C-alpha cells in the first residue's frame, strides 16, 4: 500500500488528518484544506457522515461504541445522514469564519443558532459524586445530531474561554489550518508539512 503523507492517517478505512490544533474544535475545522472562500475545499476529509463519525472517535469525542451505533443509524437513514453532513460542513465554515474574520457577523449568528439548538437538547444527568452529594454531567441524546451538537457546545466553550485569544492560522501556502499557540512560539500547523515546505523554499532561495 502506498504511504500516506505524514499529516494523514488511515482510520477504519477512512483517510483523516492527524490532530495538530491542540483543541478538538480546531482539529474539526482542520478537516478540510485550502480555506479560500466558501467554495468546495480542495481536500475535504469529511467525505461522508460515517467519516465524520469516525473522525469524532479518532480524536476522542465519541466512544467506540457510540461510533458503531451512529454508523448503524446512518446506514438506516442515509438521507438524514447526508443532510446532517451538510449541516456539519456549514457549521465548520461558519465557525472558521468567526475565528478568523472580524466581519463575520452572519457566520457568528449561524454559530450562535447551532449552539442554542445543541444547548436545548442537552440534559443534566445525575452521576455518582467523588465527594459529597450527587454529581452531574451533561448528556446529549445519541442520535445523528449528537456529534455536531457536541462540537457546537465545545465551540461555544472555545469562543468564550481563555483559549480564544490563542487561536492562530498557519501561514503555509494554501494551508489555513488553525491551532492554539498559548506561548506565542508556534508558527506552523505542523513542522513536518508547512514548516518543512517553508524550510525547503528558504533553502532553495539561499542557494539560487
Ligand atoms: Zn499549515
pLDDT one-digit tens code per residue, 129-141: 999 999 999 999 9
> With left for phi above 0 and alpha for psi between -120 and 50, is residue 166 left, alpha or beta?
alpha
3-class SS letters over 75-134:
HHCHHHHHHHHHHHHHHHHHHHHHHHCCCCHHHHHHHHHHHHHHHHHCEEEEEECCCCCE
Give phi and psi for 137, each to the nearest 5: -145, 150
Q: What number of H helices and E strands is found in the chain? A: 7, 6
pLDDT at 202: 81
Structural domains of the chain in order of their starting residue, each with its CATH number: 8-206 (1.10.3300.10)
Distance 20 CA to ligand 1 centre (A): 9
Distance 177 CA to ligand 1 centre (A): 6
Distance 114 CA to ligand 1 centre (A): 28
Q: What's this model's pTM, rounded to 2 decimal places?
A: 0.91
Cβ pair 63, 56 in contact under 8 A: no
pLDDT per residue as tens digits for the range 99-154: 999 999 999 999 999 999 999 999 999 999 999 999 999 999 999 999 999 999 99
Distance 154 CA to ligand 1 centre (A): 23
Distance 193 CA to ligand 1 centre (A): 7
Residue of 125, 122, 94 whose CA lies nearest to 110: 94
Distance 32 CA to ligand 1 centre (A): 12
pLDDT at 82: 98
Amino acid at each position: 500500500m502506498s504511504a500516506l503523507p505524514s499529516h494523514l492517517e488511515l482510520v477504519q478505512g477512512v483517510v483523516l488528518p492527524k490532530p495538530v490544533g491542540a483543541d478538538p474544535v480546531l482539529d474539526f475545522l482542520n478537516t478540510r484544506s485550502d480555506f479560500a472562500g466558501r467554495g468546495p475545499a480542495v481536500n475535504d476529509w469529511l467525505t461522508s457522515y460515517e467519516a465524520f463519525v469516525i473522525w469524532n472517535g479518532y480524536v476522542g469525542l465519541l466512544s467506540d461504541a457510540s461510533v458503531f451505533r451512529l454508523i448503524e443509524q446512518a446506514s438506516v437513514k442515509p438521507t438524514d445522514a447526508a443532510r446532517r453532513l451538510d449541516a456539519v460542513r456549514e457549521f465548520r465554515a461558519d465557525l472558521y469564519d468567526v475565528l478568523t474574520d472580524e466581519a463575520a457577523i452572519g457566520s457568528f449568528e449561524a454559530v450562535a443558532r447551532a449552539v442554542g439548538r445543541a444547548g436545548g437538547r442537552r440534559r443534566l444527568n445525575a452521576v455518582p459524586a467523588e465527594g459529597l452529594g450527587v454529581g452531574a454531567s451533561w448528556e446529549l441524546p445519541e442520535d445523528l445530531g449528537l456529534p455536531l451538537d457536541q462540537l457546537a457546545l465545545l465551540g461555544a466553550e472555545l469562543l468564550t474561554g481563555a483559549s480564544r485569544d490563542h487561536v492562530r492560522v498557519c501561514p503555509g501556502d494554501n494551508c489555513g489550518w488553525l491551532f492554539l499557540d498559548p506561548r506565542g512560539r508556534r508558527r506552523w500547523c505542523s513542522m513536518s508539512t508547512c514548516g518543512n515546505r517553508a524550510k525547503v523554499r528558504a533553502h532553495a532561495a539561499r542557494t539560487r
